[in-house]
């Protein structure tokens, strides 16, 4: 990737070159290109790491969960954090952090409902974690995470024993 190096501070450049920081993240090679120099001066990354709520009257973003999904999931499920749930020959713990450079928790399922008169938002993602938020006007308050399934053997064994849980959530309903 051809970066317009003067467009970035030195720490950002170091982070991009370090695989333990941003070096593994997938960045667009087409977006953010300065047409005058043909180099990237604005970094665009792929992946859904949050959920945005849009005000339907103004079509503006009213709220975004930001880093809530990742920060709360790593705090509660660090051994399976950002797991990929895809290789039959690895365990959920063996796949920990494999999605961090791709799309993180990748929220792909969403449901809105009411519990005891309080509106709630539930998201589910590829990593098999459900995150629950209570709705407060145009904002959401993180409440909890839930991950079902065992983590102590290969996915193939978990599927055979029907103890896989909710891997790769794509729909909630």
C-beta separation of 4 from 16 below 8 A: no
pLDDT digits (tens, 9 = 90+) for 105-144: 888 888 999 999 999 999 988 888 999 999 887 778 899 9
Average pLDDT over residues 90-108: 83
- Mean local confidence (pLDDT), 1-9: 84
How many C-beta atoms lie closer than 10 Å to residue 95's C-beta? 21
- Where does residue 65 rank: exposed (0-12), middle (13-18), buried (19+ CB within 10 A)? buried
Length of the chain in terms of residues written? 173
Reading the block at residue 143, the tokens are 């409440």
Q: Radius of gyration over alpha carbons of the chain, in Å? A: 19
The pLDDT value given to residue 116: 93
Residue 5, SS3? helix
* Residue 90 near residue 107 (C-beta atoms within 8 A): no
For residue 164, the tally of other CB atoms under 10 A from its CB is 19
- pLDDT-based confidence at residue 46 (cuts at 50, 70, 90): low
In which band, very low, low, confident or very high, does the pLDDT at 47 lie, cut at 50, 70 and 90? low
Tell me which of 1-5, 94-98, 169-173 is least confident.
169-173
Provide the pLDDT for residue 49: 78
The β-bridge relationship of strands 107-115 and 60-64 is unpaired
Q: What's the mean pLDDT in 60-84? A: 88
């Amino acid at each position: 990737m051809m970066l317009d190096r003067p467009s970035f501070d030195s720490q950002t450049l170091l982070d991009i070159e370090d695989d333990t920081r941003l070096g593994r993240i997938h960045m667009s090679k087409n977006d953010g290109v300065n047409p005058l120099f043909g180099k990237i001066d604005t970094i665009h990354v792929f992946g859904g790491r949050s959920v945005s709520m849009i005000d339907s009257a103004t079509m503006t973003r009213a709220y975004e969960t930001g880093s809530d999904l990742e920060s709360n999931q790593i705090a509660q499920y660090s051994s399976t954090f950002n797991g990929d749930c895809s290789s039959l020959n690895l365990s959920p713990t063996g796949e920990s952090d494999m999605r961090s450079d791709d799309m993180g928790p990748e929220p792909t399922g969403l449901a809105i409902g009411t519990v005891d008169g309080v509106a709630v938002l539930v998201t589910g993602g590829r990593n098999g974690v459900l995150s629950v938020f209570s709705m407060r006007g145009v904002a959401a308050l993180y409440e909890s995470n839930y991950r079902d399934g065992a983590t102590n053997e290969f996915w193939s064994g978990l599927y055979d024993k029907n103890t896989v849980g909710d891997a790769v959530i794509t729909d909630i309903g």
